[in-house]
Homo-oligomer: A and B are copies of this chain.
Amino acid sequence: MRIGIDAMGGDNAPDVEVQGAIAACEFLGDDDRIVLVGDKAAIEPHLARAGEAADKMEIHHASERIGMDETPVEALRAKPDNSIGVMSQMHRRGEIDACISAGNTGACVAAAQMYLRRLPGVHRPGIAIVTPTYYGPVAICDVGANVNCRPQHLYQYGVMASVYVSAICGVENPRIALLSIGEEDAKGNELVKRTQQLFRGDPHLRFVGNAEGRDLFRGSCEVLVCDGFVGNVVLKLMEGMAEGVLRAMMEEMLTSVPEEAQKIKHAAGGIMSKYDFNEYGGAPMLGVGGIWIICHGASDHRGIKNAVRVAAGFAKCRVNEQITELLGEQGRADE
C-alpha cells in the first residue's frame, strides 16, 4: 500500500508531517510506502535525519500550499500545483492508495470530489470522527464536509458511518441516532423531521430515533448523524470543553490535595489523552472514490502517525466496498 501525506497542510508543516510519517513506519509492511507531497526543498532536510525509515518514504514535489483561510474551490483553481490537489490526482491515477492531510478541510473535500468523484450512489461525502465515551466509541457524521444538508444526505451518513464504525471499531449492528433537540419524533427542525422518515422507512438499519447532545455520553448509540454545521460546532465544543473542564478540575484538585500534585497531574494527563484528537488520528471522508483521511490542523506527529493507521485499516476492512454494497441495496441511493 502507498499512502500519500500532504506535507504542507497543518499548522506546523512540514515538521509534524515528516515526524509523523517516520513514526508511522512501524505500521508499514515490507512493500508499503509513504509518499510525502509538498515542497521538496522544505521536506528533504527533515527526511535526512530519518535514518532507516527514509527507505520507506518518497517525496513527490508540489510547489504550492493552500492556506487555512483560503476559499477552497478558488484556491484549488488559482494554485494548480498545490499539495492537496496534486495528492488527490496521484490517488486518481493509482500512484497512491490513500490521502492524508491536516490542511484546509474545505479544500480537501473539494479536491476529493473533484478528482476522485463519489462512490456510486453517494450524494455527498461526510466526515466521520470517532469519539471515545465511557460506554465505547461513537461515530459522529458529518463534522464539517457539508453545511447544506438535505434529508437524503443525512440518511446516507447514517448508512456510511455504520459501515465504518462496524468495520473499524468492531461494533456489530451499530445503533444509529439522529442528533436533535428532544427524543420525541415531533421535536427538531424540518431537516431532522424529514430525515427521520427516511430512517424509519428502512427496517434494515438499526435506527433508534432522536438523540440529544447529552446522549452522546450516555451509551445510547454508536452512530450519531447530523449536518456538517452542527457536527463541526459539536466537535470543537467538545475539544474546548474537555480542555476547560479538565483545567478547572485540576486546579481545584491541586488546591485541595497539593501534596499529591504529581499523581493528580498524571491522572489528568490520562483523561486528557482520551479526548486528545491526536490519539484517535484522523477522520475519514466517507463516500468519496478513494481513501481520504483528514487530520486536525493543530495535529502533532502522533496525529499524523495515527492517521496512517486509520488509512491502513480503512483499506484492509474494505470500507468503501461495503459502503457501495449497502447503498446499492434497498434503494438507499435514490434521490
Q: Which residues in A have some Cβ–Cβ distance to B below 8 Å?
A: 69, 71, 106, 133-134, 144, 147-148, 179-181, 184, 186-190, 192, 212-218, 226, 228-230, 232-249, 252-253, 255-257, 260, 263-264, 266-268, 270-271, 274-275
Contact = CB atoms under 8 A, between A and B. Distances in A.
Given A236-B212, A241-B241, A267-B257, A184 B252 contact: no
Given A189-B147, A189-B148, A248-B274, A240 B255 contact: no
Contacts of A133: 244
Contact of A217 (B212, B218, B244, B260): B244
A239 B264 contact: no
A271 B179 CA distance: 27
Given A253-B253, A260-B260, 4 more contacts: A216-B237, A245-B245, A245-B275, A249-B268
The 10 closest A-B CB pairs, nearest first, are A214-B240, A213-B237, A213-B236, A217-B244, A181-B232, A252-B267, A147-B189, A256-B267, A217-B240, A212-B236
Given A213-B240, A257-B263, A179 B233 contact: yes
A239 B253 contact: no
